[in-house]
Amino acid sequence: MPTKILVTGGLGYIGSHTVVELQNAGYEIVIVDDLSNSNINVLDGIEKITSVRPIFEQINCTNLDALKNVFEKYVGIKGIIHFAASKAVGESIEKPLLYYRNNLVSLINLLDLMPAYEVEGFVFSSSATVYGQPPIENLPVTENSPIQLAQSPYANTKQIAEEIVHDAVAARMPIKTILLRYFNPIGAHKSAEIGELPLGIPQNLLPYLVQVAVGIRPELSVYGNDYNTPDGSCIRDYIDVIYLAKAHVSAIERIISNKQKNKLECFNLGTGKGISVLEMITAFENATGAKIPYKIVGRRTGDIEQIWADSTLANDLLGWHAETPLEDTLKSAYAWAKKINIKNN
């Protein structure tokens, strides 16, 4: 029988791409998602790509009883990949209690239930925001780089969540965990059947940029051109969402096959290359032929000046590499955006 994996937030952007990669690898998937930041139609996209429709339960992970029912109904879950969380930096500054409730209570509920249902494997969706703004001399960041003061409630929930997982393992709970610290996921599945579906005004660069490219929004706002970077705009490490998804397959396989050296491991997932906002605009225009009107506006609260990853540990221990050229990733994002725009018009 195929190994059964619970994926929370599995209809979201990263979650849906990970479900595709897990099903292609032969896993049986149970998705839990409350659809607060996702769309039920994503199930159709997953099925079109993999020819398998994953099990789906519409549940908020802060509801402990509802989660219990999932474990009772789908006996034999061997691992959990936990994506379900509120994730926008700007929104977290405006609604901090929402973020602390959603992101921490959901995690505690899952960890609380795992021993009762003999679920040993846990992969947690963390973030490069736990590093705060690293000193220039600490770039690129490794997993041993200092954890800096969180720049937003969202980032703080990721720091606290990692501490909760660490304490649970230290308390000798019978669980094996891997923390995956993402840098900036971009792109879409090459089939254009699934991709990023931000509700309302996008909070991240690329989804906003592609909406400008297809005419949904008139122009892109660049938040600051006076940072201490070569062109004055913020620098990030952008990783193709497909290869980010593949890292989760590698992580769950590492846990299930007992290859972990420790019961808690942590990996950075990035390309090792920093790209500025202005460089990304130029790269997108060159890759797609679309023109992106933009304006420089003031800095945005909570933004980090520059950060990029050292992913050597993931390369060596997970056997994982971010391989997709940036041009191909940008083309996939544009193809997805054009398809969605046609559907909505």
Place of tokens 């130029």: 282
| Whether 196 contacts 209, CB under 8 Å | no
Q: What is the pLDDT along the chain (345 residues), one digit of tens a residue?
A: 899 999 999 999 999 999 999 999 999 999 999 999 999 999 999 999 999 999 999 999 999 999 999 999 999 999 999 999 998 888 999 999 999 999 999 999 999 999 999 999 999 999 999 999 898 888 999 999 999 889 899 999 999 999 999 999 999 999 999 999 999 999 999 999 999 988 788 888 999 999 999 999 999 999 999 999 999 999 999 999 999 999 999 999 999 999 998 999 999 999 999 999 999 999 999 999 999 999 999 999 888 899 999 999 999 999 999 888 999 999 999 999 999 865 554
Residues 6+ apart with CB under 8 A from 151: 89, 129, 132, 133, 302, 303, 304
Any long-range contacts for 40-44 (C-beta under 8 Å, 24+ apart)? 40/11, 42/11, 42/16, 42/194, 42/197, 43/11
Planar angle of CA 188, 221, 208, nearest 5 degrees: 20
- Number of Cα atoms under 13 Å in the Cβ half of residue 209: 24
Relative to beta strand 176-182, strand 184-186 is unpaired
Contacts of 109 (CB under 8 A, 6+ apart): 61, 62, 63, 64, 67
Q: What is the value of pTM for the model shown?
A: 0.95
306 three-class SS: strand
Report the chain's mean pLDDT, rounded to a whole number.
Answer: 95
Residue found under tokens 């595709």 = 20
Q: Based on C-alpha coordinates, what's the Rg of the chain?
A: 19
Report the pLDDT value the prediction gives residue 306, as an integer from 0 to 100.
Answer: 95
Residue among 237, 111, 84 at smallest CA distance from 177:
111
Burial of 298: CB neighbours in 10 Å, binned 0-12, 13-18, 19+: exposed
Q: Where are the alpha helices (DSSP H) in the chain?
A: 13-24, 42-50, 64-73, 89-94, 96-100, 106-113, 153-170, 205-213, 241-256, 277-288, 312-313, 326-343
Identity at 73, one-letter amino acid code: K
Dist. CA 286–CA 283, nearest whole Å: 5
- Asked if 243 contacts 314 with a C-beta cutoff of 8 angstroms, the reply is no
Distance CA 269, CA 314 (A): 7
Which residues are designated catalytic?
154
pLDDT tens by residue, 65-121: 999 999 999 999 999 999 999 988 889 999 999 999 999 999 999 999 999 999 999
